[in-house]
Chain A
Amino acid sequence: MSIELIIGILNIVLISTTPLVFAGIGELVTEKSGVLNLGLEGLMLVGAVTGFITLVITGNYFYSLFLSIISGVILSGIFAFLVLNLMTNQIATGLALTIFGIGLSAMLGKKFGGTPIDGLNPYYFIVISFLLVFFVAYFLSKTKTGLIVRAVGENHNSAYALGYNVIKTRYLTIIFGGVMSSLAGYYISICYAPMWQEGMTAGRGWIALALVVFATWKPWRLLVGAYIFGGVAIMQMNLQAIGVKLPGQFFNMMPYLATIIVLVFISSNKLRLKLSAPSSLNIPFEKNQ
């Protein structure tokens, strides 16, 4: 293998893995505070279509990025209100958010499908994704606010008794996660495959969700896991192209399979604690209990 070929492969791996890093790291922070948001796919699609439409109308990358972020704030804000204030079921609300996002993005983008745009250089986002993982890892382990987020996720009643504002903390982590998903969507429609087509995220939101579990809620492992998933997908394409026969369906299901194996592995309680799954994950918090 020549050097050019290897550099080319690494280049494709970097470009294709970045959306997983964005969506995954956002969801990791949300889950660390004890909230499971299954709405990533919907958030990504709305982020993608909002950015795309704004770019087509204004021609300005800054506005498109800004509005894409706003879409994430609004949608995840609604999700936060439902699960935190109205204490709706997180799984059902997250699924509803995904379904809503798929429908909303298809409706908004109807007139814009097939409009050619100039894509943005993906390397800005690739660099930011690495910085982001570093920032989140530092934030969760070394800062006081980060420890509060984790305390809220481990045991919200104790955190509340200590005087921490559980609801406010969770609002912020949910919105952070929402914005990261929007950015992942923005990256897909503006950098990765510069276009708008309905459902174009093609299940990457679900892979990002699986990735958080696969990484056992650790930021650096999430980065490694994302690059394992992304790297394997691109390697199998390269092997196919040089004529090696491979079971392609197997590689499509690999992220989910790997996640199930990790889930089985951590289902024993003692290990689970060690592996840092937030204990209050998916449990609603009631103030006056």
Chain B
Amino acid sequence: MLRKILTILSFLAVISVSAVHADQKKIGFIYIGPPGDHGWTYMHDQGRIYMENALGDSISTTYIENVPENADAVRAIRKLAASGHDLIFTTSFNYMDQTLEVAKEFPDVKFEHATGFKRMDNVSTYSARFYEGRTIIGHIAGKMTKTNTIGYIVSFPIPEVIRGINAFYLAASKVNPDVKIKIIWNYSWYDPGKEADAANTLINQGADIIVQHTDSYAPCQAAEKAGVLAFGQASNQEAFCPNSHMTSIEDIWGPYYAAKAQAVVDGTWSSEDTWQGFKDGMVEMSPYNTKLLPLDLILEAKSMETAIENGTLHSFEGPIYNQAGELVVKEGEVADDGMLASMMFYVQGIDGEVPQ
């Protein structure tokens, strides 16, 4: 009810703003959280600002924040489409069907859906290979843990998140076969209190490293308070936990957004699937914390980044087995993008089951 009222109110704001400029290309964004989350939405907003600076007066941008991943999203996307936006970025996985629904009604409007896999003539998908970063932090965690227990806080059971867990575990268990990961599903992307509770619960159960796939910096703060180590999520979170933050996986959307906006301005936009990682700069590691990490480990991590960039190292190199012990990636091969995009199983060695 409340969300609905809020969404309606933000529509009004959007309409009034977008009525002003007629000659510019109008670009809209749908955000799952607030731009001030210093995580996922913050980085998309940074991308939006980068795009505005890069293209100047040829575009104007608007965004609607805190849009829930349900029927409200249809209304939010439709309002942007109906108010003359030329390009609309929907920045969360579960806006997928809602984006397609609106895209069918507005064939002249271009849509860009983040982290999804369903496309149409006027719907592109794009995502970052965050799992490459998870390989790096898995490697570091495997070497840095003393209790061999790593706490992992996650949001929803979707392929992107499960792929991250697997990539992390494969890298960690490669350097430390005894490593165990404890996983807590929060079923929310953004609830600082709950994320702190989950971090404290994991620490209480013996985890000495906290990894998160949620959007606030509360887990890293809880780790700092308890004196254990942590990795940040989406943006560089060192400022919030200087004594426990080893590195963060950063999402860099700006250059992609600017390129797609330019394509709309030039009239060259076409539907495509983009999935970029370290190589194209869509994923970056925050500066490694030299106070916490030994120099040789930092150098290892950096050389792994380079190896992933030139393709000599892949996050999912065979042989990989699933929990049932079946070989899913053969020795000498790597998982293809199709398998990665729909990954809904844990690899062998992870305890527990993937929630349905």
Contact = CB atoms under 8 A, between A and B. Distances in A.
B332 interface: no
A99 interface: yes
A147 interface: no
A242 interface: yes
Interface in B220-253: 221-222, 225, 239-240
Given A202-B192, A202-B193, A116 B239 contact: yes
Interface string A242-277: 111101110010000000000000000000000000
Contacts, number: 129
Interface in B276-330: none
Interface stretch (A53-61, A138-146, A186-194): A186-194
B349 interface: no
A23 to B, nearest CB: 13
A200 B240 contact: no
Given A197-B34, A198-B37, A248-B187, A5 B2 contact: no
Nearest to B350: A243
Interface residues of B, number: 46
Interface in A30-69: 41
Contacts of A114: 36, 38, 217, 239-240
A202 B188 CA distance: 10
B262 to A, nearest CB: 29
A113 B45 CA distance: 14
Interface in A185-240: 188, 192-195, 197-204, 233-234, 237-238, 240
A233 B38 CA distance: 25
A202 B191 CA distance: 6
Interface stretch (A78-86, A102-110, A152-160, A165-173): A102-110
Nearest to B216: A197
Q: Which of A98, A188, A193, A199: most chain B CB closer than 10 A?
A: A193
Task: Please classify how large the interface on chain A is, using the bins under 10, 10 to 19, 20 to 34, 35 or more.
Answer: 35 or more
A76 interface: no
A16 interface: yes
Contact of A193 (B193, B351, B352): B193
A119 B5 CA distance: 34
Contact of B183 (A99, A119, A241): A241
A149 B6 CA distance: 34
A116 B240 contact: yes
Given A116-B239, A243-B351, A245-B352, A197 B36 contact: yes
Interface string B1-13: 1100110010000
Interface string B148-191: 00010000000000000000000000000000001111111011
A243 B204 contact: no
Given A16-B196, A197-B34, 8 more contacts: A19-B193, A193-B222, A198-B34, A198-B37, A201-B193, A202-B190, A242-B182, A245-B353
Which 5 A-B pairs rank lowest in CB-CB distance, beginning with the nearest?
A8-B204, A198-B34, A113-B36, A202-B191, A193-B192
